[in-house]
Structure 1
Amino acid sequence: MSGRITTVSKPPKLERKKRVAAYARVSSGKDAMLHSLSAQVSHYSDLIQRNSDWLYAGVYADEAKTGTKDSRADFQRLIADCHAGKIDMVITKSISRFARNTVTLLQTVRDFKAWEVDIFFEEQNIHTMSADGELMLTILASYAQEESRSASENQKWRIKRNFEEGMPWNGAMLGYRLKDGRYEIVPKEAALVRRIYNEYLAGYGYQAVAKRLTEEGVPSRFGGKWNQSVVSKILSNYTYTGNLLLQKTFRENHITKKTVINHGELPKYHAEDAHDAIISIETFHAVQTEKARRAAQFNKKPAPRTTYPFTSLLVCDICGKNYRRKTTKTGIVWVCGTFNTLGKSVCASKQIPEATLQQVTAEVLGVKAFTREQLHSRVQSIRVCNGNILVFCFKDGSEVTRTWKDRSRAESWTDEMKEAARRKTLERSKHNA
């Protein structure tokens, strides 16, 4: 049987629009107008969306960071999205905005080329996918890196000269304000510094001092939370004696800009009676002696840390701290670290009985009995929210929400508590008889 064959022409292949993103970076206090973060984001958003051949893939922006790759959150997100094939081209202002380090720049460019992602540097008018793009980048990036090194050396020279003249560098200290190169006392804050020193010498620890200040609503230098680290730094600050010990730290180099402790690599400068003292030198030394005594008393070799199935997995949705395991009169529970240390006034979270937690987890995982192996192989984290809500975040990106029930009063009673109640009832009966 024969039939007529009809030839059907294929429709023309539609050209996919190029997915274009932009990267912007601002160094705090240095850039203005178009260089400001908001102006850059607006500029690139308009630029990409005005081009009919481009598809807007977003603007990635970092603020007040150094030029190193690992320290920039949005830059890392941009790399991940390019690797995942979500972007075809990235626009950025200049080589120095993208990376100051030649090695980092070329490594990133080569990674992007392997993923077939083009980078366009506006200021230098360079496309990395072009034939001579990498050669030009190598030359220009070297100039950018040398400019960064020169600026760093000039800054170091100015700092060294100030140190030699006994001028302080840090103006963010509680109790003082830096004015015309000299510390001036802020009376109300100075009284707070003296209180912290006196309470420590009276027997309070770092955490106890921090808790008292928090409960009283005493503001810190910049309105942040009081904690043992903040109190410890205040109790270790030699500047409160009216003297200065300068260049205790220094920047490792102009690329990493990592601050390291000066163990003798550079000279230190000591300036006596540089400003009015808040703490006497005798009080300061008394605190340092007491700190050493307490450290020697408690600085024993720590026992190996015991980990439990939910260790580092439970995250408080109120304050962001991890939950920790705690043994109470009613049994084992998991409680927010902030709540456990600073109380309900700071974090109004709830403790969760471990048995309840295991039961809910088993139900979510679809297993009869809870096991550590199942939990760790599938769950990335568990957010603990208000209203007895648990949000299970799985490693595959999915989420499951469950509500747990509070224990009844009878369930909260341990065998010891029941026995104590039974004895009390018997004693009351004998007394009444």
Structure 2
Amino acid sequence: MITLAVDRNFGHEYSKQELTHLMTSIKAVIYARVSTQDQAKHGYSLESQIARSLELLETKYEIADEDVLAVVEQGEMGDDPNRPALNQALWLVEQGVGNKFVVLHPDRLARDLKLQLFITERIWNAGCEIVFVEMDVDPNNPESLLLYNIQGAIAQYNKAKILANSKRGRRAKVMNGKIPGVRRIYGYCFDKANDTLVVNEVERDVYLMMVDWILRGKDGRQMTLTSVARELSLLGIPAPSGDKWYQATVSRIVKNPVYTGTFYYGKTECRQRAGRKEIVRRPAHEWQSVPVPAYIDEKTFHQLQERISLLGRRNRGAKPKAPYLLKGLVRCGRCGAAVVAGAPSRDKQTGEPIYRYYACSGKGRKIFEVGTGRQVHACAGRNWRQDVVDDYVWRFVCSCLAEARSALEQIWGSGRKRFV
């Protein structure tokens, strides 16, 4: 048996010889999927799905293991239409690889009725038979198709019901003064027995020291968020993440209103659409509050925010005057950070810009090593000339527009190999 573990980094391009070999040697394609939730709640595993599928193929269709290709997918949601392993399996079937598409259960194929019908239609149109281990589907039997569609609707309903019940349970817990789990909040420890935040005395003192530094300075020096991060590193104070203090971490801590004695639940909401999670900010009047130990009062918190805002206005650089075609659209190929407008090179006599550059935002992040205070650069790569890059991109776009049809066909063909 051939097993393909396909994820979103899978980019194998099949040669004509490889594809021909698969078409002549493979009689069945197994698709196995598991998400973290499924494995925890239902005991599904990729190994058991493949084993049961192989057993069915051997006993019912007399297809041996060596004539089977298994495509496995882990950690993808059942309502996502763009799952990499599913798209790979469908593409192979449409190329003529195998005449049977084997899945343990319809909810492994999809947890959305519309998506289930779309995938099913593609498989049948490819001249391939869908075989489910735990139920039979006959495309020529109206009653069988009805039960199949009902199964898809039930799977979609169950997914929505589980999400709704989880949200309702968490809201009820908050109404009783409890916190239904929370990410790490510096200065507190989460008490799992009572579902609440309790004081971490060491981190509380560090937080109060940060507040004092920003409001009053340290040793006669004005302290910015960057200098606070550097000073904490020099003092060898452990950071929330361990060995590095980020300026962004200090900013997130001192801007958090939880230290005034109120934890707000429901500030954001996670919504799922087509297998993708979207974080949506909810209006303030919908937030639920839970009392927690207070470290500062409201007045001090407002003074702190005003001070931070003033420091931000003073240290904010000038906006770039020249247009940057790709600003905010691309990421660094070395570290994955966003690409921004970098500092230009200037004439030594006049100070006028000579060349402008794209720069990786990872190069400018304020990160300091705990114990030494040494600044750590997340990305050490060089910058890119803005005029050279923009000119290349414009030329490429114009060439595509001049031959729009062939360009679209090329993009579509490439997409089918990887994503469809």
Into which bin does the TM-score normalised by the smaller protein fall? 0.5 to 0.7
Task: Write the distance in 2 (CA, Å) between the matches of 1:86 and 1:232.
Answer: 55
> Where does residue 336 of structure 2 map in the other structure?
320
Q: Choose the corresponding residue for 2:33, options 8, 16, 24.
A: 24
Q: Does the 8 Å contact 2:181/2:195 carry over to 1?
A: no
Task: Write the distance in 1 (CA, Å) between the matches of 2:38 and 2:93.
Answer: 30
Task: Write the distance in 2 (CA, Å) between the matches of 1:219 and 1:191.
Answer: 13
Q: Report whether the alignment pairs 1:69 with 2:83.
A: no
Q: Choose the corresponding residue for 2:169, options 158, 168, 173.
A: 158
TM (norm. structure 1) is 0.61
Q: Choose the corresponding residue for 1:98, options 109, 117, 129.
A: 109
Task: Write the distance in 1 (CA, Å) between the matches of 2:339 and 2:392.
Answer: 19
Q: Choose the corresponding residue for 1:235, options 254, 277, 283.
A: 254
Q: Choose the corresponding residue for 1:338, options 346, 354, 362.
A: 362
Task: Write the distance in 1 (CA, Å) between the matches of 2:205 and 2:120.
Answer: 55
Task: Write the distance in 2 (CA, Å) between the matches of 1:222 and 1:79.
Answer: 42
User: Alpha-carbon deviation of 1:167?
Assistant: 0.8
Q: Does the 8 Å contact 2:53/2:104 carry over to 1?
A: no
Render the CA deviation track for 1:208-244: whole Å, top value 9, x for unaligned: 6667768988665455986566544433433222223
User: Alpha-carbon deviation of 1:20?
Assistant: 0.9
User: Alpha-carbon deviation of 1:69?
Assistant: 0.8
Amino acid at match of 2:362: T
User: Alpha-carbon deviation of 1:165?
Assistant: 0.9
User: Alpha-carbon deviation of 1:345?
Assistant: 3.3
Q: Does the 8 Å contact 2:26/2:68 carry over to 1?
A: no
Identity across matched positions, percent: 16
Task: Write the distance in 2 (CA, Å) between the matches of 1:225 and 1:41.
Answer: 43
> Where does residue 59 of structure 1 map in the other structure?
71
Describe the SS at the equivalent of 1:120. strand
Relative to structure 1, the CA distance from residue 340 to residue 183 in structure 2 (aligned partners, 3 Å threshold; closer, same or farther) is closer
Identify the structure with bigger relative contact order (alpha carbons < 8 Å, sequence gap 6+).
2
User: Alpha-carbon deviation of 1:107?
Assistant: 2.6
Q: Does the 8 Å contact 1:49/1:56 carry over to 2?
A: no
Describe the SS at the equivalent of 2:64. coil
Describe the SS at the equivalent of 2:146. helix
Residue correspondence of structure 1 range 76-155 to structure 2 within 5 A? 78=89, 89-126=100-137, 131-132=141-142, 134-155=145-166
Q: Report whether the alignment pairs 1:249 with 2:268.
A: yes
Relative to structure 1, the CA distance from residue 315 to residue 238 in structure 2 (aligned partners, 3 Å threshold; closer, same or farther) is closer
> Where does residue 11 of structure 1 map in the other structure?
none
Aligned-residue Cα RMSD (Å) equals 4.9
Report how many residues are paired: 352
Render the CA deviation track for 1:357-410: whole Å, top value 9, x for unaligned: 96xx9xxxxxxxx8544455789xxxxxxxxxxxxxx9898xxxxxxxxxxxxx
> Where does residue 190 of structure 1 map in the other structure?
204
Residue correspondence of structure 1 range 283-298 to structure 2 within 5 A? 283-290=300-307
Amino acid at match of 1:22: Y
> Where does residue 289 of structure 2 map in the other structure?
270
Task: Write the distance in 2 (CA, Å) between the matches of 1:167 and 1:353.
Answer: 51
Q: Choose the corresponding residue for 1:172, options 156, 179, 183.
A: 183
The worse-fitting range, judged by mean Cα deviation, of 17-26 and 72-81 is: 72-81
Render the CA deviation track for 1:167-188: whole Å, top value 9, x for unaligned: 1123322232322222122334
Q: Does the 8 Å contact 1:196/1:209 carry over to 2?
A: yes
Amino acid at match of 1:177: C
> Where does residue 351 of structure 1 map in the other structure?
382
User: Alpha-carbon deviation of 1:278?
Assistant: 3.7
Task: Write the distance in 1 (CA, Å) between the matches of 2:321 and 2:56.
Answer: 55
> Where does residue 8 of structure 1 map in the other structure?
none
Describe the SS at the equivalent of 1:31. helix
Render the CA deviation track for 1:326-347: whole Å, top value 9, x for unaligned: 4235964554331244588334
User: Alpha-carbon deviation of 1:313?
Assistant: 6.2
The worse-fitting range, judged by mean Cα deviation, of 95-104 and 298-307 is: 298-307
> Where does residue 403 of structure 2 map in the other structure?
none
Q: Does the 8 Å contact 1:91/1:120 carry over to 2?
A: yes
Provide structure 1 residue ranges, at least 5 long, that are not aligned to the other structure: 1-13, 362-369, 380-393, 398-433
User: Alpha-carbon deviation of 1:22?
Assistant: 1.6
Q: Does the 8 Å contact 1:83/1:112 carry over to 2?
A: yes
The worse-fitting range, judged by mean Cα deviation, of 345-354 and 305-314 is: 305-314
Task: Write the distance in 2 (CA, Å) between the matches of 1:216 and 1:44.
Answer: 59
Relative to structure 1, the CA distance from residue 69 to residue 124 in structure 2 (aligned partners, 3 Å threshold; closer, same or farther) is same
> Where does residue 9 of structure 1 map in the other structure?
none
Q: Choose the corresponding residue for 2:195, options 175, 178, 181.
A: 181
Task: Write the distance in 2 (CA, Å) between the matches of 1:224 and 1:255.
Answer: 38
Amino acid at match of 2:292: H
Residue correspondence of structure 1 range 184-223 to structure 2 within 5 A? 184-198=198-212, 200-201=214-215, 220-221=239-240
Task: Write the distance in 2 (CA, Å) between the matches of 1:218 and 1:375.
Answer: 51
Render the CA deviation track for 1:134-185: whole Å, top value 9, x for unaligned: 4332111222233334333432332232121111123322232322222122
User: Alpha-carbon deviation of 1:122?
Assistant: 2.6
Describe the SS at the equivalent of 2:40. coil
Amino acid at match of 1:165: N
